[in-house]
Chains A and B, each alone.
Chain A
Amino acid sequence: MYVLGLTAFQRDAAAALVRDGELIAVAPEERFTRNRHEAAFPRAAVRACLARAGIEPHQLDALVLAEKPSRSFERLLFAELTRYPRSWRTFPTFLLSWLGDRLWARSRLAQEVGVSSDRVLFVDSQRARAAWAFFTSPCEQAAILVSDDAREGATTTLARGNGGQIEILAEVHDLHGLTGLGAHAARHLGFAGVEDLGRFERLADHGSPSRRTELAHVLAIHADGSHAVSIDRLADALGPPRAAGAAIDGAGGAANDAGVHADAAASVMLALGDALLSAARELHRRTGLEDLCFGGELAEMSSLNARLLAEGPFRRLWVPPAPGEVGAAAGAALHAAHVLGAPRARPLDHAFLAEDVILDHDRTSAPVDAEERIRRAVDTLCAGGLVGWMHGRAEIGRQALGHRSLLANPRSADWRERIAQTVGRYEGGLGLPCAVPEERAAELFEIPEGGRGPARFRALRVRPREHAREWLGAALQPTKCEGPFKGPEHEATWIEPQLVDARVDPAFHALLSRFGQRTGLPVLVTLPLCRSTEPTVRREADARELQRRSDLDLLCVDDRVHAGPTLSSPSSKPADSAHAHAIHSR
């Protein structure tokens, strides 16, 4: 039985295919159109999923949209009416768009994909996210918390998962919700909105929550754990706005002198965390369970996940990769497949569900065996170089997890500057996004036992142990970040580790281990292999183009290795001259 899940008609359109209950492909449309957060109908993604299974559209048993369009329409219509008469300009556009197209989703989907309309199904967007969070987890029973955009009405959902069943317990209905609050605050501070919540979170690292009291008027947290958002008061509570692209205000008089914009961001992050914690406590009271599965856009924020685990009532936390729109497409397919009779999917132990590497036809370099590839990558990293690491199927979601990764040695003095030069912008906040072999993680970082699940997908912030702080040295040194984040110098305060399992990703694990043997520290900085304004690379040609335009010293693509201009240039100044000599003498 084949079930295709879709998210469409809004940012991050995606498709996912489930065969007999097992997820076999997830495809975000942006990877094909090269337009970040692509909102166009995911035609290419659908084709990629069908091609992965080798089937034609008529062989699909069901096509599932992760939304109930009529309920979304009702909510949006009400939202337009509540803004009367200020909505006179948007009202006709909204109605034309919905009455002309989106409301007739069944026939549109059937026509677009090429299936009969009686096979088109719909899953509530919050349920789809809950299904993605729960069905991918190793838990037989778990409490489920979802927080995302208001689509059909609910913005925060409490649920209980039991075997193959998900029971919705309670919902907060709000025009904006916690995600909407984060998005509006991000826009106030010059970011794009939901798409830029990651940058917003990193800006918050530089500030102190001095505006938390003012935000109490914007986000009211009730005694029963629910909350209500009043967006109208947000601008007053956050203080001066920032124009997109302008420098972050560093002249504020906040306690740590980080600037008014960073303080505003830190206050919002604190408020969001408080609201989620209250909801989590209520969920725990209602279910009495020890495992929490967290889904929705806010689950992308590792600082919130860390707070949920450290301060919340649950012992273990599970956060799937891509918990937002992309995950919803897969969740909708998994839920529908289960309702149609398929067994529950196996727990997800990796995120490598997107496309294979598309290799160039014109082979210009001879194949290099795995051992030699790793040796050259380790040599380059030891010499302070940057390595592009691309093999197998791509990871889904925003995090680089070792299949489309830009790697750097955390102990090289200038890795931040070099990454900024390569990807166009580095706003890493005060943390270190890195990968480490799973068996070595506990000795280096304070990873709570209940946080190993999200740590596999780099969805949790932890602190380094004292001896690891010494080893990491340069990586944790005070630094000024690139881009608009021009706050005062800070030492890195957190680590966002990815625990790499040798059984799941033997090649990347071997690279980390070999690097550890050489340097004593099996930790590599990992970032997505792409320019900061583009989606993750899809083809070898994209990666080579990135290498041509940047400072990437070595690019490993499956069994191919491409050296960059820096390695072949005698004027380069690597960090470690002995290793540099080794490279140049090759």
Chain B
Amino acid sequence: MPNFLALRASPWSDPVRKLLTLESFSRTEEDAGVDIALARKSVQDPAIAAHFERHARDEFKHAQLFRARAAELRAEGVAAPRDGQAEKTYDLELTRGVSGANAHGFLRGSDYEEQGELAYVAMLHVAELRAETLFERHMRALGDDERTRAIFEEILQDERYHVAYTRTLLTRWERAGRGAEVKRALSAARGASFIGAWKRLGAHSATGFARVLLILSYCTWVAPFGLMARNSRARTGWREPPAARDAALDLRAQY
């Protein structure tokens, strides 16, 4: 039986949210591909390098699949989002923020050297498991959109391979006497994922709270400024530019 809450929160029922979600997935997959391709450059073991190479290629392919589907929707006339709709998107980018990891849990490829291959592969494993579950859930909530379902099915096959090869690598290290290290790395990766979810919840709550505060401010202390601005007469005609600053200093200034 489909999870009612998951369906209710699903972005697939609204064409605009569907479009934005596909585009968000595309960006995240592309980022993941770049991260892994970067990590690949630092890998010494040829077997791991080959896995990373295919993994990066898969992520780019997924990005392309999501992008192409989004383009189809746009061609069918799904319009750009209006105010507020973008916030309801399942935007993986918004969930970025745990130690530089993205929503799938991928770290920047440059962290590979700092973390070492075992921690990186453990992180990949946890991230891919999570992605597999996430995509399966999205696929169940798709409704009758067979085109998008086919894309998810294709991607899920790749995700299963990603889970399998990372598991094989971790098992190999366990057998080589690094069991405790593998366990620690997996716990750390899962912990990062949990902390990420906690932070996301916090961020959503904070946004809602901030919105209420801003509306209250708007109705109270912003009001006199609003009335003043509304009654101010706009200056028309040519304006001389402000006195020139030193060009190099001007370049550094945000104002």
A81-B222, A84-B223, A93-B84 known; A173-B229 Cβ under 8 A: no
- A105 contacts B by Cβ under 8 Å: yes
> Is the beta-carbon distance between B239 and A336 smaller than 8 angstroms?
no
Chain B 16-32 near chain A by CB (<8 Å), digits 1 or 0: 00000001001100110
Residue of A nearest to B79 (CB): A244
Which one, B74, B222, B251, contacts A35 given CB within 8 A?
Answer: B74
* Chain A contacts for B80, CB-based, 8 A: 192
> Is the beta-carbon distance between A121 and B226 smaller than 8 angstroms?
no
> Is the beta-carbon distance between B240 and A78 smaller than 8 angstroms?
no
Question: Among the listed stretches A65-73, A294-302, A432-440, A486-494, which one makes contact with chain B, having 4 or more residues with CB under 8 Å of it?
Answer: A65-73
**A-B Cβ contacts below 8 A, count:** 132
Which one, B67, B207, B218, B252, contacts A33 given CB within 8 A?
Answer: B67
- A171 contacts B by Cβ under 8 Å: yes
- B225 contacts A by Cβ under 8 Å: yes
Which one, A89, A105, A226, A228, contacts B234 given CB within 8 A?
Answer: A228
> Is the beta-carbon distance between B226 and A85 smaller than 8 angstroms?
yes
* Chain B contacts for A35, CB-based, 8 A: 23, 67, 70-71, 74
> Is the beta-carbon distance between B74 and A533 smaller than 8 angstroms?
yes
* Chain A contacts for B70, CB-based, 8 A: 34-35
> Is the beta-carbon distance between A81 and B226 smaller than 8 angstroms?
yes
* Chain B contacts for A47, CB-based, 8 A: 34
- B46 contacts A by Cβ under 8 Å: no
CA distance A105 to B239 in the complex (A): 27
Which one, B34, B235, B251, contacts A122 given CB within 8 A?
Answer: B251
Residue of A nearest to B236 (CB): A228
Interface residues of B in 224-251 (CB under 8 A from A): 225-230, 232, 234-241, 247-248, 251
Interface size class of A (residues with CB under 8 A): 35 or more
* Chain A contacts for B237, CB-based, 8 A: 172, 222, 224, 226, 228
- A561 contacts B by Cβ under 8 Å: no
Question: Among the listed stretches B4-12, B130-138, B160-168, B208-216, which one makes contact with chain A, having 4 or more residues with CB under 8 Å of it?
Answer: B208-216
Which one, B67, B75, B230, contacts A84 given CB within 8 A?
Answer: B230
Q: How many residues of B contact A (CB 8 A)?
A: 48
- A290 contacts B by Cβ under 8 Å: no
CA distance A34 to B214 in the complex (A): 36
CA distance A172 to B80 in the complex (A): 31
- B45 contacts A by Cβ under 8 Å: no
CA distance A89 to B214 in the complex (A): 10
> Is the beta-carbon distance between B230 and A226 smaller than 8 angstroms?
no
* Chain B contacts for A225, CB-based, 8 A: 238
What's the minimum C-beta distance from B89 to chain A, rounded to whole angstroms?
Answer: 12
What's the minimum C-beta distance from B192 to chain A, rounded to whole angstroms?
Answer: 18
* Chain B contacts for A534, CB-based, 8 A: 71, 74-75
A78-B229, A82-B230 known; A95-B251 Cβ under 8 A: no
* Chain B contacts for A33, CB-based, 8 A: 23, 26-27, 67
* Chain A contacts for B219, CB-based, 8 A: 88
| A residues lining the B interface (CB < 8 Å) | 33-36, 40, 43-44, 47, 62, 64, 68-71, 74, 78, 81-85, 87-93, 95-96, 100, 105-106, 114, 121-123, 154, 158, 168-175, 192, 220, 222, 224-226, 228, 245, 282, 336, 339-340, 424, 531, 533-534
The 7 closest A-B pairs by CB, nearest first: A84-B226, A81-B229, A92-B214, A70-B255, A170-B238, A228-B236, A121-B251
Given contacts A84-B230, A96-B207, 18 further A-B contacts (CB under 8 A): A34-B71, A40-B27, A68-B253, A74-B255, A82-B226, A82-B230, A83-B230, A84-B226, A84-B227, A93-B83, A121-B251, A174-B234, A222-B237, A226-B238, A228-B236, A282-B238, A340-B248, A531-B75
